[in-house]
Structure 1
Amino acid sequence: MIDFIKGEVLLIEEDYIVVEVQGIGYRIFCPNPFQFTLHSQVTMYTHHHVREDAMHLFGFSSREEQKLFRKLLDVNGVGPRVAVGILAAGNPHSFTTAIQQENITVLTKLPGIGKKTAQRLILDLKGKLPEVAMDSTDTNISSMSTVADTSLSFETKEALQSLGISRDEADMIWQKIEHQVTADDSVDAVLKLALKQLHQG
C-alpha cells in the first residue's frame, strides 16, 4: 500500500496531477487539482484503489482528507469518484458538521449525492468521524453553507465546461453571478443564471 508520495508536480489536469519521484511519474486523482502549482514540491497522502479492471491512485493534501475519503468508501453506494467530488466541494470539518446535524439539504448539494445517499451517509457516518472531528466553533450554519456554495460553484462550472465553455470563462461567469446565488438554489437554476450572464456578455 502506497501511503504517501513526495515529489514535483509535472502535470495538472482537470481531475488529476502527475507527481515525479526519482524519474517515475505517478498519476494521482485528487480534489481540486488546480490548487497545486507546476514544478512545486508536494506531499500527497494516497489511497491505492484496486478493482478487477483498473488500479487508481487517489491523493490528498492532508491526512484528514485521506481518512475521510476512506470513511466515505465504506458507505454503500459511494465510490471513489463520488468521494473525491465530496472532498472537492467542501472540507472535512464542514462535511462533518452536515453529517452530525443531519443536514440533508446541504448534503444533497454535493456532487453525485441524492436524498437516499445523503440519508445513508448520515446513517453510516454520524458519530463515526472522530478523526475529522471539528472544533466547537465549527458547528454553525455558515460552515455548512460553505459546503453548499462550493458545491454549486463546482457543479455550475462543470456544466458550463460540458457546453464547450473554457475553464477560465466559467470562472469569470461564476464570479459575476455568485452574489446572486444562495445555498438553497438548485444547480439548474444557477446554470440558467450563468447562461443568461453569458449571453449578456
Structure 2
Amino acid sequence: MIAYVKGKLTVIHDEAVVVEANGVGYELICPNPFYFQKVMNEEVLIHTYHYVREDFQVLYGFKNEDEKYLFTKLISVSGIGPKGALGVLGSVDIPSFVAAVENEDDKFLTQFPGVGKKTARQIILDLKGKLTAKFTVAPVEERIEVNDHSALKEAEDALKALGYTDREIISIMPSLQNAGLENTDEIIRKALALLMKN
C-alpha cells in the first residue's frame, strides 16, 4: 500500500491535487484540495490511502494522519463509501464529529451530504467508543457546525460568469473558506475585494 506521496505540488483541481515525484504525477483525491494552496509548487508530503476495487484504483490524499485514520473508519461503516467519507471530512473538524458520534447526535450527522437518518444511526452504531482513544472530543458548546459549501459553490460559479479564471478563483479559495461567510452575496463581495488586491 502507498502510505504517502512526497514531491512537488503541481496542480490543484476542485476535487484533487497532483504531486510530482520522481517524474511521475500522482493524482490524489482530497476532502479539501484548496487546503494545499499555500504550498503550491513546493515540496509536500501528503498522507494517502490506496483504495483498490476490482474495477478501479484510486489514491486519496490527506493533510495529516488523523484525517486519514478517520477516513478509514468511515469507509468501514455500512452505507458509506469513499465519496461520502470525503464529504464528511471536507465539512467538519474532527473533534466535533467525534463528539456527535459519542453523544449519539444524529441530527448533527445528517447535515453531511449523503448522510440520512439511517446512515447516521449506522455511523453511531459502528464508531461509538472507537474514536475516543485516537481523538479528543469537542465539548458541545465548542462544536463547529458543518460548513455550507453550496453558497461557496454558487459564488464560484458567479465569479466564473464574471470572467475570472479557475486559477484566479483557486488562489482566493482558502481566504474565502476561512472567512466563514454563509451568504452567497457576501462571499462574492469578499472575493471581488481579494481579486482586486491580487
| Alignment TM-score, normalising by the size of structure 2 | 0.77
Aligned to 1:83: 85
Match status 1:157 vs 2:128: no
The one of 119, 144, 147 equivalent to 2:145 is 147
Amino acid at match of 1:87: L
Contact 2:77 2:126 in 1 (8 A): yes
Q: Deviations over 1:74-125 (max 9, x none)?
A: 0011000110110000122211111111111211111221111111111111
Quote the offset at 1:30 in angstroms.
Answer: 0.6
Q: Deviations over 1:51-86 (max 9, x none)?
A: 222110001111111110000010011000110110
Aligned to 1:3: 3
Aligned to 2:95: 93
Contact 1:67 1:131 in 2 (8 A): no
* d(CA) in 2 for partners of 1:31, 1:158: 15
* d(CA) in 2 for partners of 1:16, 1:104: 29
Give the % identical residues. Answer: 34
Instruction: Give me the CA root mean square deviation.
Output: 3.0
* d(CA) in 1 for partners of 2:111, 2:117: 10
Q: Deviations over 1:103-162 (max 9, x none)?
A: 112111112211111111111111111453206xx222332xx232x2x2x23323565x
* d(CA) in 1 for partners of 2:27, 2:110: 30
Query: Which runs of 5 or more structure 1 residues have no equivalent in the other structure?
Result: 182-192
Counting matched residue pairs gives 178
| Alignment TM-score, normalising by the size of structure 1 | 0.76
